[in-house]
Amino acid sequence: MTHTTTAARRDHRETNRLMGMMTGDEKHGPAATSTLDVLWVLYDRVLRVAPDTVDAPDRDRFLLSKGHGPMAYYAVLAAHGFFGEELLPGFGTYDSPLGHHPDRTLLPGVEIGSGSLGHGLPLAVGSVLGLRAQGLTDPRVWVLIGDAELDEGSNHEALAYAGPAGLEQLHTVVIDNVSASYARPGGIAARFEAAGWSVDTVDGRDHEALYTAFTAPHPGRPRAVVARVEPKN
């Protein structure tokens, strides 16, 4: 299976127009824009999943744990043809499939329904174990979490398990916009390194740096990329 990159790749600036189509209350704009560049690089250049392969057993899985403020996620999915952009103006309305948290039963390509912080990484670990049990060792599982989610014990348990278990198929992207409550010696990357992960910290707006970090080899170890995004006032 190939990823979604094609000769007709859409310009990432198109997401500004698509995000502008989503109006209404509770948009959580800063939460959305902090993830935009990471999501674009993943879907445009890395993930091996497309609108016609959302149910293929050998597809890559992307799990959005940082599910509040999903406008960027919806914009990137629409830009890559997972659903029509005509749905965007209805964002957050009663009968819209575009809720304030993505719903895996309503939108093609959405792997999990996100809710409370701390769900995504444990689900990603379980997804890798499930794939292994089926003999599927090629699909990669990606999960995007926020730095504040690392305040949740469920994530630390998953993090501590994945390294020693050698879950090479597992990839975690942490959006670091300095919203976590607890400081860690050495920063977020040090926590993953201590558990045996392969880790890089990059500028979360730099597409080439993100792509390089996302595609770096990490044999025998899960991969974590800490994407630093300066908070905007």
pLDDT digits (tens, 9 = 90+) for 145-200: 998 888 888 999 999 999 999 999 999 999 998 776 666 677 899 999 999 999 99
Segment 75-99, tens digit of pLDDT: 999 999 999 999 999 988 889 999 8
pLDDT for residue 63: 96
Pick the more confident residue, 67 or 111.
Answer: 111
Judged by DSSP in three states, 176 sits in: strand
Q: Which amino acid is at 119?
A: H
Residue at token pair 């149910």: 55
Beta strands 223-228 and 198-203 are: parallel
Sheet with strand 61-64: strands edge to edge: 61-64, 141-146, 170-176, 223-228, 198-203
Rounded distance between C-alpha atoms, residue 112 and residue 87, angstroms = 20
Rounded Cα gap, residues 38 and 173, in angstroms: 8
pLDDT at 28: 56
Highest mean pLDDT: which range of 16-30, 60-74, 177-191: 60-74
* Mean pLDDT calculated for residue range 13-27: 75
Report angle CA 146, 147, 150 to the nearest 5 degrees: 105
Is 50 exceeded by the pLDDT of residue 57? yes
pLDDT at 233 over 50: no
Taking the model in full, what pTM does it have? 0.90
The DSSP output letter for 221 is S
Helices (H), 42-186: 71-79, 120-133, 153-165
Mean pLDDT throughout 110-128?
Answer: 89
Cα dihedral 64, 28, 18, 102 in deg (nearest 10):
30
Question: What number is the average pLDDT over the span 131-149?
Answer: 95
What is the total residue count of the chain? 233
